Every structure is written in structure tokens, then in C-alpha cells.
Structure 1
Amino acid sequence: MFKIFRNSSRIRVSGDFAVSVFRKYQNKYLKEITNDFNGKCLNVGSHPLEKDKEGKRYEDYFSDGQYHTLDINYSSDEPYHFQLDLSDVKLQFKFDLVLCMSVLEHVKNPFLVADNLSAMLKTGGRLYLTLPFFYPIHKDPEGRYSDYWRFTDDSIAVLFPDLEIEWIHHIPSVIRSVRDRNKYWSEDRTISGYCILLSKPERNGI
């Protein structure tokens, strides 16, 4: 059984960058899972120069690993960037780690994309998934992407039946428990989103 962690809203937000609590936790757990990582990573919905909203490039999390990016809307001459559609992507090799951070809510068919993400993983590979829940609608003003979905932690097992959940972190929201229907409007249920780590197990000795 995987672990569920409910985080406190007491996380320091300071500095020159306007960073949401959700993003702070996303970066915190990314740092943890990439510590001592030396394999091959793919960051989907990202480009080679993208930063983590706290001033650090995502590539800098992978000083010992091989870092790739994938984004249909970004053209680059970088050899490790793929300008491909996540809904119709076929790569010739697989990855030890795939990052899908605040992306799944922007795709039209999350079931198809979830299947593609699973197929990108090596056996034993891991998927780091972050998903907003109680979070503002956020779409690109230039129309490059829309905002379609919000997911619960129960939906992850449905989207990724071939992967095993290692842990789920509930990220706190500014919304608090209210008197009306207190049973439902509790702090555990009004979270801003999730940080989730999944892994691809061996199947039938494969």
C-alpha cells in the first residue's frame, strides 16, 4: 500500500520570484527524487531553458543524468529536445524517469496521454506526476493550450493501471474547513493539488 502525506501549509515563500505553495512543494519533491539520479530523464511539456519558477533551470536538477525535454509548442536545435505531440508520441527509447508536472490538466485526452507516459518508462522506471486540484483555471492567453481537467488521487489508479503508486503528497490549499457540510469541506479534501511518484513494475518476469 502506498503512503499518503498531508503537508502543512507552513512553507516559506520568499525571494524575488512569485511562487505558489503548490510550486514550492513540486520543486521540493523533485529535488528529493533527483538526488543522486544518474539515469535518463524526460520532462514532458517543457523545453531546455525552462526554469522552476524559483530561478533554477530544470536541467540543473540533473547534474549526473541525461536530461531530455518534450514540448509540441517549442522549437529547438538542442539534440535532447523533442518537438512532439504528447498525444501522438512514439520514441525509440525509454526513460528511467519521466516528469509530468502540471501538464495532464492541459491535454484533451488524459487517458491516451497516460498510456503514452507509461510506455515511455523502462521497467523499474519512475513517473513524477504533479496535478492541481483546487487551483485557478490557467490557460495560455495565446491559445497554445487550454485547461480541461482536475483529478483526484483516486483517478490516478484509473489513469495508470500498469504503474504502482509509491507515494502521494497532498499539497495544502488556502481553503479551510467551513461550518456548512463540515464533513465534506475539510482540509484533507480542499487541497490545492498532488505530487505523486509512480513506478513501472516487472510483469511476468519482463
Structure 2
Amino acid sequence: MGDRNQIIFLQKFVPSVAGSILEIGSKDYGSTSSFRQFYPDCPYVGIDMEAGAGVDQVIDLAKGIGDLPEDHFALIVCCSVLEHVEKPWKMAENITRLMAKGGTLFISVPWVWRYHAYPDDYFRFSFRGVVSLFPDLEWATPHYSTTVEGEFVEITEDNKQADNAMAVTATTPKGAQRKYLPYLMVNMIGIRR
């Protein structure tokens, strides 16, 4: 399940898929939208850590891949999940195992976000952090997204401080100046070598 900007990003950068799709964190909580509807002609498997609407299989990828086939999925979607994983490096290894050679990973993770437990909240990720978790992938240009629908900022070699450029300064009640970053997600497309 994803927010509106995650859906916009996926539709723009992966408009079609030839093969099976795996969505990690597919449980419908009523406040997000499904990716499933955008690929109606593809075999689609939604997994989550607990059963519910949108969940085809209950699997915790930080512990293993269950009965999912290795080297199989043409697209894996993992949005707003990795921050909830106690050992994301283990989950990253299992995600890579599930990707077909030449397969695509769409990952969206928080860089600046409030604490939000499901079942807990452990990490925030820079784009470099994501790259380090998935060494077998080639990455396209990452983008920040905000809570404003359709607002994306490309992260390039010349623009590594894009997050800082979006900060605002405000005066605190005691008269001090405080810098605030907006909520930011890092959105990335990786291809398995």
C-alpha cells in the first residue's frame, strides 16, 4: 500500500511490467492506496506480517522468504516498510534473492518523518543508506517526495543538499531561530544486476 506520491512515482518510472509483482507491506489500513490496480495483467502477490485485506501471504522477509520463489519477481514494491524492520539488512538480502535478474525494486523510505510504530519504528534512510543495503542493484536517480501531492525533488551529485534547501527557519516561543525540514521520503528505482 502506498501514499499518493508513491503511486505517482511508480506510475511515472515503472509504467508497465512484464512478469510477476511482489508488494511488501500490502495490508490495507484504509489510509493508503493499492498498487495492484495499476498492473491488472500481471501475476501479483501481496505480503505483510499479518493477515488482512490486500494480503495474499503472511511473510516476514526479515526472517526468510517463506515459499516465495527465488530469482522470480520482475517488480518488487516496498514502500514505507523498511523503517519498521529491526534488521533491514537481512530483509534487503531476502528482497534481492526474490528479484529476477534484471528485475526492478521500487523502494520508498522515510528520511525525515515522525515516529510511527508498526509494530515499531527503527530507522530513517538516506539515499546512500538504501544503496548500501542493496549492493547488487544499479540505481536510477533518487528523488525526495514531500507530503504535497506531486512534489518531488531529484537528488543528484550537484544537488545532494536538496533536503537542506527545503528547510525553513522559524522563531521559537523563546525567540531562538530553529531550522525545520519538511517530511521527506526517499524514492528509488533499482535494477538487479
| TM-score between both structures, scaled by the size of structure 1 | 0.69
Aligned pair in 2 of structure 1 residues 52, 67: CA closer, same or farther (>3 Å)? farther
Aligned pair in 2 of structure 1 residues 122, 75: CA closer, same or farther (>3 Å)? same
Aligned to 1:35: 15
| Helix, strand or coil at the partner of 1:198 | strand
Out of 158, 163, 171, which is 2:145 matched to? 171
What do residues 117-137 of structure 1 show as CA deviations (whole Å, max 9, x unaligned)? 111100000000001121111
How many residue pairs match? The answer is 165
Q: In the alignment, does 2:5 pair up with 1:25?
A: yes
Aligned pair in 2 of structure 1 residues 37, 102: CA closer, same or farther (>3 Å)? same
Aligned to 1:85: 60
Tell me how far apart the structure 1 counterparts of residues 88 and 117 of structure 2 sit (CA, whole Å): 16
Indicate the RMSD between aligned Cα atoms, in angstroms.
2.9
Out of 101, 108, 124, which is 1:123 matched to? 101
Is 2:69–2:98's contact at 8 Å kept on the other side of the alignment?
no
Out of 30, 48, 67, which is 1:71 matched to? 48
Tell me how far apart the structure 2 counterparts of residues 32 and 120 of structure 1 sit (CA, whole Å): 23
Out of 179, 186, 193, which is 1:194 matched to? 186
Aligned pair in 2 of structure 1 residues 26, 57: CA closer, same or farther (>3 Å)? closer
Q: In the alignment, does 2:59 pair up with 1:113?
A: no
Correspondences of 1:126-137 after superposition (within 5 Å): 126-137=104-115
Is 1:41–1:95's contact at 8 Å kept on the other side of the alignment?
yes
Identity %: 25
| Helix, strand or coil at the partner of 2:142 | strand
Out of 131, 144, 150, which is 1:157 matched to? 131
Correspondences of 1:52-63 after superposition (within 5 Å): 53=32, 56-63=33-40
Tell me how far apart the structure 2 counterparts of residues 121 and 58 of structure 1 sit (CA, whole Å): 18
Q: In the alignment, does 2:96 pair up with 1:98?
A: no
Q: Which runs of 5+ in 2 are unaligned?
A: 149-165, 172-178
Is 1:170–1:191's contact at 8 Å kept on the other side of the alignment?
no
Question: How far did 1:115 drift?
Answer: 0.7
Is 1:41–1:97's contact at 8 Å kept on the other side of the alignment?
yes
Aligned pair in 2 of structure 1 residues 186, 64: CA closer, same or farther (>3 Å)? same
Tell me how far apart the structure 2 counterparts of residues 57 and 28 of structure 1 sit (CA, whole Å): 12
Is 2:125–2:186's contact at 8 Å kept on the other side of the alignment?
no
What do residues 150-200 of structure 1 show as CA deviations (whole Å, max 9, x unaligned)? 0111112211111111121112479624399xxxx697xx66111100010
Q: Which runs of 5+ in 1 are unaligned?
A: 1-21, 202-206
